[in-house]
């Protein structure tokens, strides 16, 4: 097992001290990162002690340490899972050949683009969520927000290490640019649409960590199959941390749903106005938020029919999630049947399998999302409420791929622009919805023993601590 060096400025298990040039380059980038964090990270909490887990190992049984730390002092580090002896390329045209420890010249630009795109999402989400601490529903949730934030920062470090160590001057320039773009900025936006979307309330945060971070999981699973071994090893360890982000989203929405259904059952009322009068979020509004964040996240997989996806697979750069589960790994034959829109009608079309790799990955994502939605619905049903949350059609509210510019209902029915615009308020959050949700979150809860009215308490705390543990020692508490 590799040894983690924790007494250096940059904790790592990549023998950074043996490469002085690389070490100096990363140590020169580090102050710029800290400056970005202080400018664009959580607002108002930089000097607070936060009970956080910090990666200290790649050993599955003891990879993290929990303790209080001020976020700017967090030990962001570089961690790769241990190499697999004699690992071979698991898919594509180079199937069965040894994996690459260095970037092949013919794949240099494409690999750099993949790494930059993944890397850009990490600081983007921190920027999107930087004000949420000022409206937190509990200290437990505040701590979870900050855990997600610091780990997104560490994931940025992971991608910057690859850029610095394998892409020379181009990589160093890309690493600087990762700190220069800003989520939602009109002049220098982040690269992907969902990461420029405002995330300024906690329902959006929970939906984001469930749906958008789950896209991140599947992108990481696909990159973990890469023939470029340093990228594969990096993303495998990132997946260890990503699981918590999705946990925050799944359980967060569950607690919101549970609280609403509980209040509805107690009052025997189901009209949204009556539900809102009780100070909780009505279920139709939750469905509209679900529709928004799910459709934005579907776009992150790229076009359904993609020559780029085919090239990535053929070249061994990006595979399918859990490639070992497939019987055939070259995908030279076979097709994928999908619905395409032609002359305003849906037609079933067979697409060469390699060209449908984005959709194959999206399929796995949809199945994974449905498992979470099923859990939320069981919570609603347990209170005797006849309402089900549903995932909308993949054709609904899409900006990327074959359904971009197509107007469809959540059921997938093709409709005209006028009808979509007329009914959009039934399907997507309205300004009134957003204002109402924000109205519930005007007063942050900094007392560990309190919980906002609109959300149920979690079933247990963090790392054996009680729910009302002082996870954040906030000066204003």
207: number of Cβ within 10 Å: 25
Both structure tokens of 174:
């890309």
Average per-residue pLDDT for the chain? 96
- Tell me what pLDDT residue 64 has: 85
Q: What is the mean pLDDT of residues 320-347?
A: 96
Q: What is the mean pLDDT of residues 13-30?
A: 94
How do strand 335-342 and strand 472-473 relate by DSSP bridges?
Answer: unpaired
- Tell me what pLDDT residue 475 has: 78
Per DSSP, 88 falls in state B
Q: What is the CATH number of domain 16-473?
A: 1.10.620.20
- Tell me what pLDDT residue 5 has: 60
Q: What is the mean pLDDT of residues 461-475?
A: 96
- Tell me what pLDDT residue 268 has: 98
Cβ neighbours of residue 339 closer than 8 Å, sequence gap 6 or more: 346, 347, 348, 349, 395
Distance CA 449, CA 469 (A): 8
Residue 34 predicted with pLDDT over 70: yes
Distance CA 35, CA 62 (A): 31
* Coil, strand or helix at 405: coil
Distance CA 312, CA 113 (A): 11
Distance CA 408, CA 396 (A): 5
Cα–Cα separations (whole angstroms), residue 212 to 117, 233, 328, 358: 14, 22, 29, 16
Angle among Cα 186, 439, 214 to the nearest 5 degrees reads: 55
Residue 36 predicted with pLDDT over 50: yes
Q: How confident is the model at residue 1 (pLDDT cuts 50, 70, 90)?
A: low
Cα–Cα separations (whole angstroms), residue 406 to 295, 304, 345, 392: 13, 14, 11, 14
| Phi-psi region at 342: left, alpha or beta (left = phi > 0; alpha = psi -120 to 50) | beta
Cβ neighbours of residue 477 closer than 8 Å, sequence gap 6 or more: 446, 447
pTM of the full structure = 0.96
Long-range contacts of 104-112 (CB under 8 A, 24+ apart): 107/228, 107/315, 107/317, 108/167, 110/311, 110/312, 110/315, 110/317, 111/228, 111/231, 111/317, 112/163, 112/167, 112/170, 112/171, 112/174
Half-sphere exposure of 476 (CA within 13 A, CB side): 10
Express each pLDDT in 239-293 by its tens digit: 999 999 999 999 999 999 999 999 999 999 999 999 999 999 999 999 999 999 9
Half-sphere exposure of 300 (CA within 13 A, CB side): 31
CB 471 within 8 A of CB 140: yes
CB 365 within 8 A of CB 373: no
Buried-exposed string 440-470: b where 16+ CB fall within 10 A, e elsewhere: bbeebbbebeebbebbbbbeebbeeeebbbb
Half-sphere exposure of 381 (CA within 13 A, CB side): 8
Distance CA 269, CA 263 (A): 8
Distance CA 247, CA 225 (A): 24
Residue 19 predicted with pLDDT over 90: yes
Domain boundaries, the chain: 16-473
3-state secondary structure 174-187: HHHHHCCCCCCCCC
Cα–Cα separations (whole angstroms), residue 346 to 268, 338, 359, 413, 427: 43, 9, 17, 9, 22
Evaluated on CA atoms 152, 158, 164, 170, the torsion sign reads negative
CB 125 within 8 A of CB 208: yes
Distance CA 363, CA 301 (A): 10
Question: Looking up tokens 């508490």, which residue turns up?
Answer: 477
CB 159 within 8 A of CB 117: no
Kindly tell me the burial class for residue 102, based on how many C-beta atoms sit within 10 Å of its own C-beta (0-12, 13-18, 19 or more): exposed
- Tell me what pLDDT residue 244 has: 95
Q: How confident is the model at residue 63 (pLDDT cuts 50, 70, 90)?
A: confident
Indicate the range of 14-28, 48-62, 112-126, 135-149 predicted with least confidence: 48-62
Q: Please state, for a pLDDT cut of 90, what percent of the chain lies above it.
A: 94
- Tell me what pLDDT residue 3 has: 58
Express each pLDDT in 365-405 by its tens digit: 999 999 999 999 999 999 999 999 999 999 999 999 999 99
Q: What is the mean pLDDT of residues 84-96?
A: 98
Q: What is the mean pLDDT of residues 436-462?
A: 97
Q: Please state, for a pLDDT cut of 70, what percent of the chain lies above it.
A: 97
Both structure tokens of 116:
């930059």
Which residue, 78, 54, 66, 60, is CA-closest to 4?
Answer: 78
Residue 477 predicted with pLDDT over 50: no
Q: What is the mean pLDDT of residues 308-317?
A: 98
Which residue, 159, 156, 255, 148, is CA-closest to 209?
Answer: 148
């Amino acid at each position: 097992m590799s040894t983690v060096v924790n007494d250096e400025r940059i904790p790592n298990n990549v023998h950074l001290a043996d490469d002085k040039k690389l070490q100096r380059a990363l140590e020169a980038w580090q102050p710029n990162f800290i400056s970005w964090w202080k400018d664009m990270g959580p607002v108002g909490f930089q000097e607070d002690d936060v009970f956080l887990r910090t990666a200290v190992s790649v050993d599955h049984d003891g990879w993290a340490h929990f303790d209080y730390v001020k976020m700017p002092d967090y030990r962001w580090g570089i961690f790769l899972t241990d190499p697999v002896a004699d690992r071979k390329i698991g898919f594509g045209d180079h199937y069965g050949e040894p994996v690459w420890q260095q970037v092949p010249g013919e794949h240099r630009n494409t690999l750099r683009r993949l790494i930059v795109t993944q890397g850009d999402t990490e600081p983007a989400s921190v920027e999107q969520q930087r004000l949420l601490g000022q409206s937190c529903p509990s200290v437990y949730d505040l701590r979870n927000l900050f855990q997600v934030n610091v780990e997104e920062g560490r994931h940025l470090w992971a991608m910057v290490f690859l850029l610095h160590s394998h892409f020379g001057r181009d990589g160093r320039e890309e690493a600087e640019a990762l700190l220069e773009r800003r989520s939602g900025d009109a002049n220098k936006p982040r690269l992907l649409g969902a990461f420029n979307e405002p995330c300024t309330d906690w329902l959006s945060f929970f939906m984001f960590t469930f749906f958008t971070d789950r896209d991140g999981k599947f992108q990481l699973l696909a990159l973990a199959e890469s023939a470029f071994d340093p990228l594969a090893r990096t993303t495998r360890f990132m997946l260890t941390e990503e699981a918590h982000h999705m946990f925050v989203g799944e359980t967060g929405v569950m607690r919101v749903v549970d609280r609403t259904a509980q209040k509805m059952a107690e009052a025997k009322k189901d009209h949204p106005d009556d539900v809102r009068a009780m100070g909780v979020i009505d279920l139709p509004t939750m469905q509209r938020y679900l529709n928004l964040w799910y459709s934005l996240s579907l776009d992150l997989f790229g076009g359904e029919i993609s020559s780029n996806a085919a090239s990535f697979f053929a070249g061994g750069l990006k595979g399918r999630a859990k490639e070992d589960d497939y019987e055939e790994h070259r995908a030279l034959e076979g097709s994928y049947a999908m619905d395409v829109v032609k002359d305003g009608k849906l037609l079933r079309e067979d697409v060469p399998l390699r060209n449908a790799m984005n959709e194959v990955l999206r399929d796995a994502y949809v199945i994974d999302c449905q498992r979470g939605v099923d859990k939320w619905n069981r919570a609603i049903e347990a209170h005797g409420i006849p309402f089900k949350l549903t995932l909308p059609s993949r054709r609904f509210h899409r900006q990327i791929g074959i359904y971009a510019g197509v107007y469809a209902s959540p059921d997938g029915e093709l409709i005209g622009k006028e009808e979509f615009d007329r009914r959009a308020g039934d399907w997507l959050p309205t300004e009134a919805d957003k204002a109402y949700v924000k109205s519930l979150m005007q007063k942050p809860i900094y007392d560990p023993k309190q919980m906002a009215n609109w959300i149920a308490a979690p079933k247990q705390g963090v790392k054996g601590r009680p729910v009302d543990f002082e996870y954040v020692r906030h000066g204003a508490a």
